[in-house]
């Protein structure tokens, strides 16, 4: 059985993250956001990053703090403009950060496709809008679709509720969000959890992310 590395320090959990990396960051707003890992990434110093997340940061902490530190070149997300995303808003208006806007379902499926080994897929969302300009389209059974490509990550930073020492993960309610698909789509997956238990203490029927997809865990 594959076993994740249990890290004692957040710096160890994000070590090896390189400049220019694509980072998948779990969370739906603040729910499931791995703030401990993001803070460690700020301290680690990697720059010129591409961040893939549902949102573009909230307030001044977590992902917003990473943006404010000037470490991010591009954001791929669904909702960059909620009222407290003023850090991203300021950077974008000043031309200091790039944005790729992706409909939420397409974002989840593109990440899932990366984890499933799917080369590309056709989706109807975005057809006829600016999001589909210059992209391949196809009519299937009378309906128009646009071609979408997978989003692979170099690193996935996700939040979960409980992990066992092998790296099996259980999530809590809406904090689950993008974590399961992101865990499958990255070369290195790091999970921040509330509690770590011994192998055998988790109900196998409750495990959402198997340990085979998790490389490192740390307790917040």
Minimal CA–CA distance to 120: which of 100, 146, 150? 150
Asked if residue 111 belongs to a domain, the reply is no
Asked if residue 109 belongs to a domain, the reply is no
Whichever domain contains 59, its CATH number is 3.40.1080.10
The predicted-structure confidence for 54-67, as pLDDT tens digits, reads as follows 999 999 999 999 99
Vertex 70: Cα angle to 56 and 62 (nearest 5): 45
For 1, counting Cβ atoms within 10 Å of its Cβ (0-12 exposed, 13-18 middle, 19+ buried), the class is: exposed
d(C-alpha 35, C-alpha 33), whole Å: 6
Asked if residue 165 belongs to a domain, the reply is yes
User: By residue range, what is the domain housing residue 21?
Assistant: 5-104+149-219
Q: How sure is the predictor about 83, in pLDDT bands with cuts at 50, 70 and 90?
A: confident
Cα-based distances in Å from 29 to 16, 18, 52, 123, 190? 27, 25, 13, 25, 19
Asked if residue 135 belongs to a domain, the reply is no
Mean pLDDT of 159-181: 97
Q: What pLDDT is recorded for position 167?
A: 97
**What's the domain count of the chain?**
1
Asked if residue 40 belongs to a domain, the reply is yes
Asked if residue 194 belongs to a domain, the reply is yes
Mean pLDDT of 148-166: 98
Q: What pLDDT is recorded for position 82?
A: 84
Asked if residue 127 belongs to a domain, the reply is no
Stated pTM of the model: 0.96
Mean pLDDT of 18-33: 95
């Amino acid at each position: 059985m594959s076993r994740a590395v249990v890290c004692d320090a957040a710096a160890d959990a994000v070590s090896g993250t390189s400049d220019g990396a694509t980072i998948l960051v779990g969370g739906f707003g603040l729910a499931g956001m791995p703030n401990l890992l993001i803070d460690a990434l700020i301290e680690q110093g990697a720059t010129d990053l591409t961040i893939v997340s549902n949102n573009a940061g909230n307030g001044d902490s977590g992902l917003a703090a990473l943006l404010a530190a000037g470490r991010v070149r591009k954001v791929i997300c669904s909702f960059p403009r909620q009222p407290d995303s003023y850090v991203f808003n300021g950077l974008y208006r000043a031309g200091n950060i790039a944005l790729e806007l992706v409909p939420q379902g397409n974002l989840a499926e593109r990440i899932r496709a990366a984890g499933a080994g799917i080369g590309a897929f056709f989706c109807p969302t975005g057809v006829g809008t600016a999001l589909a300009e210059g992209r391949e389209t196809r009519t299937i059974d009378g309906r128009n679709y646009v071609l979408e490509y997978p989003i692979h990550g170099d690193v996935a930073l996700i939040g979960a509720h409980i992990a066992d020492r092998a790296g099996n993960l259980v999530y809590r309610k809406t904090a689950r969000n993008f974590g399961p698909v992101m865990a499958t789509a990255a070369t290195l997956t790091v999970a921040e959890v509330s509690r770590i238990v011994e192998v055998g203490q988790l109900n196998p029927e409750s495990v959402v992310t198997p340990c085979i997809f998790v490389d490192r865990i740390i307790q917040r």
